[in-house]
């Protein structure tokens, strides 16, 4: 076997797992001894709230990964294998650690987010100063960057042609797992000075969250548990996916975000079931392809990552950035808009870090097209609160909702929050869970409680404006204002 490097270091980032890990596989295959590290990057962590579910999810997943490394190492005669975890600025720590370990090469997975690209460029330079190679490989998407292009050789900006090209290109080669375990004998034992256990949250100045109370499983084992459960109901996915009170989604998005599960495994499972005739699997695979689509948009259109609209004409829209806009935005953030489905969705996000995909579209449309608030404000709020926050998907979703993105909904398509509520939460099970002050209202009245009769409201203990807010906007009037606001786009197009 070709092992040109005597020692290598794997820098885990968005790939917190052992199985089917592309960077780990390449390192084990090409190095005689391989160390594995994760940097709790202070450049990122210092900006986060001290109680952040994502940090706890990562920390607990790292602890599981450390144990799995130790087991794999012991099985191959290396009892002191384990994960090296450092709390520092990755830009300085990776070159320092590589030198300390005598690594001749560092391996990592690609990360096309703008800040990550800048960081990796600096790391590459620091490593090169010491004669250390830096190899990065594709891992967190099936197809990336310029792998799926139009016949003209340009990047896709419309989803359906991209999906069709993706499906034509995909085959067993692209979906097969990297056989990490085959080369596990090359795992290196940690030097004694680096055998510390994974830091506790308090060691890195973070606090415990309600992650465990939410029963969100962590690590590779958690991802496999969720996948096994989902595969039993994947055939019904198309019928169940739009209803937030129903167990329809896979709930794997946070695992995809941090790489505790391989995208190749998920796409392989979906693709095989689609070919066997499962409509649900076909729809789920399509959503995985959307994820690849948004990742290649970020990689190929730099202005998107810089906070600009994909359709540049939409940056001419005048959003309500004044005190009134801030007041509306605060009500949206708190789940106090007077529209029960919107409020339930925002409260779910605030309490759990999760939001159903249908509701992400509803609340995003409401913020941009009912309240006239800049989509970037919503994008930033989601970035702070979503457990599964991923820049490309979050940006793509918000630009889709605001009609400023690639293959977005037309600007004149404006979700009606009441009809969305009646259609997708008809029995109001979801609303009652997160807006308990309306729980006693009948299902026919709960979707628009301001229209209910005084006696019905009194019997349910609801006082509009006191126990539950009145609508902060009139949807019909807001729709007209939105069409006026977006008229600037029509003028520029003309």
Q: Enumerate the active-site residues.
A: 287, 290, 319, 357, 375, 398
8 A C-beta contact, residue 438 and residue 446 = yes
Q: What phi and psi values does residue 370 have, to the nearest 5 degrees?
A: -100, -40
Query: Tokens 């729980």 sit at which residue?
Result: 439
Rounded CA separation 19/64 (Å):
13
Q: What's the angle, vertex CA 89, arms to CA 383 and CA 107, rounded to 5?
A: 90
Rounded CA separation 348/232 (Å):
26
8 A C-beta contact, residue 358 and residue 244 = yes
Indicate the pairing of strand 5-12 with strand 105-109.
parallel
8 A C-beta contact, residue 40 and residue 155 = no
**CA 180 vs CA 21, 109, 135, 237, 464: distances in Å:** 7, 15, 17, 32, 60
Of 351, 48, 315, 382, nearest in space to 210 by CA: 351
Rounded CA separation 351/342 (Å):
14
**CA 25 vs CA 95, 267, 481: distances in Å:** 21, 19, 55
């Amino acid at each position: 076997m070709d092992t040109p490097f005597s020692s290598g270091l794997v820098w885990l980032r968005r790939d917190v797992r052992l199985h089917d890990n592309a960077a780990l596989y390449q390192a084990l295959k090409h190095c005689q001894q391989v160390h594995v590290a994760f940097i709790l990057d202070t450049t990122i962590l210092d900006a986060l709230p001290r109680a952040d579910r994502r940090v706890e999810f990562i920390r607990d997943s790292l602890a599981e990964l450390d144990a799995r490394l130790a087991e794999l190492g012991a099985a191959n005669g290396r009892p002191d294998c384990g994960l090296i975890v450092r709390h520092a600025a990755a830009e300085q720590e990776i070159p320092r650690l590589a030198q300390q370990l005598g690594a001749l090469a560092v391996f990592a997975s690609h990360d096309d987010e703008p800040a990550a690209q800048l960081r990796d460029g600096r790391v590459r330079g620091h490593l090169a100063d010491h004669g250390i190679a830096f190899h990065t490989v594709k891992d967190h998407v099936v197809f990336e960057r310029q792998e799926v292009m139009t016949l003209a050789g340009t990047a896709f900006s419309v989803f359906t042609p991209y999906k069709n090209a993706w499906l034509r290109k995909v085959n067993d080669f692209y979906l097969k797992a990297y056989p990490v375990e085959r080369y596990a004998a090359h795992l290196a034992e940690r030097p004694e000075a680096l055998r510390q256990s994974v830091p506790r949250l308090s060691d890195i100045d973070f606090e415990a969250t309600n992650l465990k109370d939410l029963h969100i499983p962590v690590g590779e084992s958690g991802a496999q548990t969720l996948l096994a459960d989902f595969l039993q109901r994947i055939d019904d996915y198309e019928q169940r996916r739009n209803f937030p009170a129903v167990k329809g989604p896979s709930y794997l998005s946070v695992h995809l975000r941090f790489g505790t599960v391989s995208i190749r495994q998920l796409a392989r499972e979906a693709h095989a079931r689609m070919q066997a005739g499962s409509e649900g699997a076909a729809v789920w695979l399509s959503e995985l392809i959307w994820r690849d689509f948004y990742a290649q948009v970020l990689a190929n259109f730099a202005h998107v990552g810089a906070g600009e609209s994909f359709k540049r004409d939409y940056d001419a829209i005048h959003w309500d950035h004044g005190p009134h806009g801030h007041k509306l935005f605060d009500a949206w953030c708190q789940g106090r808009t007077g529209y029960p489905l919107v409020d339930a969705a925002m409260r779910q996000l605030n309490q759990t870090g999760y939001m159903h995909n249908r509701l992400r579209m509803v609340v995003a449309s409401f913020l941009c097209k009912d309240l006239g608030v800049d989509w970037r404000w919503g994008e930033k709020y989601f970035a702070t609160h979503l457990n599964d926050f991923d820049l490309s998907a979050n940006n793509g979703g918000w630009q889709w909702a605001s009609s400023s993105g690639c293959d977005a909904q037309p600007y004149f398509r404006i979700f009606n929050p009441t009809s969305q509520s009646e259609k997708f939460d008809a029995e109001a099970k979801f609303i009652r869970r997160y807006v308990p002050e309306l729980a006693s209202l009948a299902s026919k009245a709960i979707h628009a409680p301001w229209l209910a009769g005084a006696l019905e409201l009194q019997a349910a203990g609801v006082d509009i404006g006191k126990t539950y807010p009145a609508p902060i906007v009139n949807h019909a009037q807001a729709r007209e204002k939105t069409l006026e606001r977006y008229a600037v786009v029509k003028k520029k197009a003309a």
